[in-house]
Amino acid sequence: MTQRKLYYVSISGKRIEPEPSINDQLTVLGTPDEMNKLQQQLDQIQRDDEITQFRAPIPYKSSEHDIATDKFNEDLIKVYHAIYELGTDETRAHIRQMNILAKLEDTDYNYPGYER
């Protein structure tokens, strides 16, 4: 069985590092295979982010219900779930405190004009 070790995940940098740095990082405990899968998820949100950035300069079209934005949010939820599952107690507490999973899953678009 492969031994688990500490890694440091930067959501904004979309990377996993073996040593802590000054960047915003969440600490996880995992095997190289688990880190490879997590890196693939981070790579996916990087691709999603690149697609959604092309939508930003279009001033007349709302992006709240854009397919690319929805995909980015879904993939970001998957990343946070994976980090939560692999996270240290401190990382899990931080994610719970952020309440990020609930916020991303409930976009609260129940206002007029946001119907699909």
pLDDT digits (tens, 9 = 90+) for 48-79: 888 877 665 566 555 556 677 788 888 999 99
In a domain? residue 84: yes
From the list 14, 12, 6, 11, the residue with the least C-alpha distance to 34 is: 6
Q: Which residue has the higher pLDDT, 15 or 98?
A: 15
The whole-number pLDDT of residue 50 equals 86
> How many domains, the chain?
1
Instruction: Please give the model's pTM, rounded to 2 decimal places.
Output: 0.78
The pair of structure tokens assigned to 32 is 């190289």
Q: Which residue has the higher pLDDT, 70 or 112?
A: 70
pLDDT band at 100 (very low <50, low <70, confident <90, very high): confident
In a domain? residue 113: no
In a domain? residue 9: yes
Work out whether strand 26-30 and strand 5-10 pair parallel, antiparallel, or are unpaired.
Answer: antiparallel
In a domain? residue 11: yes
Task: Tell me if residue 86 falls in helix, strand or coil.
Answer: helix
From the list 38, 54, 21, the residue with the least C-alpha distance to 29 is: 38
